[in-house]
Amino acid sequence: MDVARLREDFPVLRREFHGHPLAYLDSAATSQKPNAVIEAVSEFYREHNANVHRGVYALSEEATDLYEGARERVARFLHAGDPSEIVFTRGTTESLNLLSHALVRSGRIGRGERVLTTVLDHHSNIVPWQLQQTYSGIGLDFVDIDEDGRVGGEAFEAALTPATRVATFAHVSNVLGTVLPVAELAERAHGKGALAIVDAAQSAPHRPIDVGALGVDFLAFSGHKVLGPTGIGVLWGRGELLAELPPFMGGGEMIREVHQDGVRFREPPARFEAGTPPIAEAVGLRAALDYLEGVGWEELMAHERSLTEHTLRVARERFGDRLRIYGPPPGPDRDAIFSFTLEGAHPHDVASLLDADGVAIRSGHHCAQPLMERLGVPALSRASAYLYTLPEEIDRMMASLGRVEELFRPRGTTARTPSPV
């Protein structure tokens, strides 16, 4: 994969900060956008802008075709059976909130019954269920991880109880980079009579998704992490299950008819898309998926495997156990997300000092405080790579970490001079 060539498509990567070229290592938070996506959104507003579905004039019909064409593109991306199984939302968070409310309202889960998630999941796959604990009396259980940050199938099944109605878990951890065995976990959940929901926010940008092969019931991901715009996400659900669920919000677009004494709703996906939808964002998402799949999954995954091996090797050689990177070792169950602690330095200080060198990483609890508690840390620094990341940017980060280590070196100890990169 010609990464240097790909980088020419991302204008923000040409910027400098504090006198240094930007090394953007925060793609797990949001990806940068290629020109193809920026132009697709801009062209929609220049040439095609109108509200969708309700207009009978040519411009509205044109906008509707673009919007529904984006739905068809997402269905192909996920290998879904029908575009009607694709619901557009504002992001993974809204998709999971929609599910938590709709499953309770439909009676699929109720008071005294339980949801199972994992200790490594993002808050967006925890807090909606905690809200339902308060409002609806459901229970919430957590599966632990092993010492490498993995979720084992046997441990997962052991946590399922006769009262478990929903099992919901990430495909890839946004902190540890752990790739969970989704198909196995879904099969074990179904064996106990539970629905399987997958948060694919961190997997959809990095690996092909086939909802049929995964064997899940629902799956969610966010556009802004797959090179697309912010403000758009996807909820996929098996058609027969979506048909059972009541709407999450009420308003225009999602109704068949409204009278003073009642309302009838449209079939999915319209039932779940109240109000004016994110039309330009859907057009941008379509362009993003075209670009991403044009790169090639095998090439992308090979590039990220190489970056993972390079990062872990350089960290070990340069810092030894003074720099601890959490998560599984390099392999098929590890993605290019590197959360770490540097001996003697707080993660927030690390991120601020790296920024002075033009290196952009994230620090904090990463919306995964139960995982922080499990790991026994208040926060972690996190670097995350993507298709436009160069090995030289990893080396720049390591050199900058060497300077941070020297700054926080206790007085009276032997200086460790960082080797140049």
Model confidence pLDDT, tens digit, residues 112-148: 999 999 999 999 999 999 999 999 999 999 999 999 9
Cβ pair 138, 113 in contact under 8 A: yes
CA pair distance 352, 363, nearest whole angstrom: 9
Model confidence pLDDT, tens digit, residues 174-230: 999 999 999 999 999 999 999 999 999 999 999 999 999 999 999 999 999 999 999
Cβ pair 41, 281 in contact under 8 A: yes
Q: Which of 367, 372, 390, 399 is catalytic?
A: 367
Helix (H) or strand (E) holding 312: helix 297-319
For the chain, percent of residues with pLDDT exceeding 90: 96
pTM: 0.96
Model confidence pLDDT, tens digit, residues 310-352: 999 999 999 999 999 999 999 999 999 999 999 999 999 999 9
Selected from 3.40.640.10, 2.60.40.60, 1.10.760.10, 3.10.20.340, the CATH number assigned to the domain covering 37-293 reads 3.40.640.10
pLDDT at site 54: 85
Which residues, other chains included, contact 289 with Cβ-Cβ below 8 Å and sequence gap of 6+?
Answer: 73, 74, 77, 226, 228
Which of 246, 248, 240, 184 shows the shortest CA–CA distance to 216? 184
For the chain, percent of residues with pLDDT exceeding 70: 97
Residue keyed to tokens 């269905």: 75
Cβ pair 322, 405 in contact under 8 A: yes
CATH architecture of 3-30+296-407: Alpha-Beta Complex (3.90)
Whole-angstrom Cα Rg for the chain: 23
Cβ pair 66, 248 in contact under 8 A: no
CA 71 to each of CA 11, 34, 364, 385: distance values in angstroms, whole numbers, following the listed order: 27, 20, 35, 28
| Catalytic site includes residue 367 | yes
Cβ pair 229, 88 in contact under 8 A: no
Letter string b/e over residues 285-302, b meaning 16 or more CB atoms within 10 A of that residue's CB: bbbbbebbeebeeeebbe
**Mean pLDDT, residues 9-20 taken together:** 98
Domains 3-30+296-407 and 37-293 share a fold: no
| Stated length of the chain | 421
Q: What does 140-163 look like in DSSP terms, one character per residue?
A: EEEE---TTS---HHHHHHH--TT
- Which sequence spans correspond to the domains of the chain? 3-30+296-407, 37-293
Confidence of residue 409 (pLDDT cuts 50, 70, 90): confident
